[in-house]
Amino acid sequence: MPETSEPATTPVLEIDGPRATIRLNRPKHLNRLQPDDLTALLDLFGRIETDPAIRVLVLTGTGRAFSAGFDLGNLAKRATSKPTEESAGSAFEVVANRLEDLALPTICRLNGGVYGGATDLALACDFRIGVDTCEMFMPAARLGLHYYTSGIKRYVTRLGVNNAKKLFLTAQKIDAQEMLRIGYLTGIASADTLDREVDALAAILAGNAPVAMRGMKRAINEFAHGELDEEAANRRARDSMRGDEIKEGVAAFKEKRAPRF
CA–CA gap between residue 256 and residue 175 (Å, rounded): 43
CA–CA gap between residue 106 and residue 122 (Å, rounded): 10
227-234 long-range contacts, CB within 8 A, separation 24+: none
The candidate with the shortest Cα–Cα distance to 88, out of 36, 42, 43, is 36
SS3 state of residue 89 = helix
Dihedral of the alpha carbons of 46, 59, 67, 76, in degrees to the nearest 10: 10
| Residue 227, number of CB atoms within 10 A of its CB | 8
Over its length of 261 residues, how does the chain's per-residue pLDDT go in tens digits? 454 444 456 899 999 999 999 999 999 999 999 999 999 999 999 999 999 999 999 999 999 999 999 977 655 455 545 544 455 558 899 999 999 999 999 999 999 999 999 999 999 999 999 999 999 999 999 999 999 999 999 999 999 999 999 999 999 999 999 999 999 999 999 999 999 999 999 999 999 999 999 999 999 999 999 999 999 999 999 999 999 999 999 999 999 999 999
CA–CA gap between residue 115 and residue 142 (Å, rounded): 13
Residues for the chain: how many in total? 261
- DSSP assignment of 182-233 equals TTS-SEEE-TTTHHHHHHHHHHHHHHS-HHHHHHHHHHHHHHHTT---HHHH
Residues 171, 142 contacting (CB under 8 angstroms): yes
Give all strands of the β-sheet with 135-137 in edge-to-edge order: 65-67, 113-115, 135-137, 174-175
Residues 21, 44 contacting (CB under 8 angstroms): no
Residues 50, 103 contacting (CB under 8 angstroms): no
Q: Which helix (H) or strand (E) holds 250?
A: helix 244-254
Q: What is the pLDDT of residue 200?
A: 98
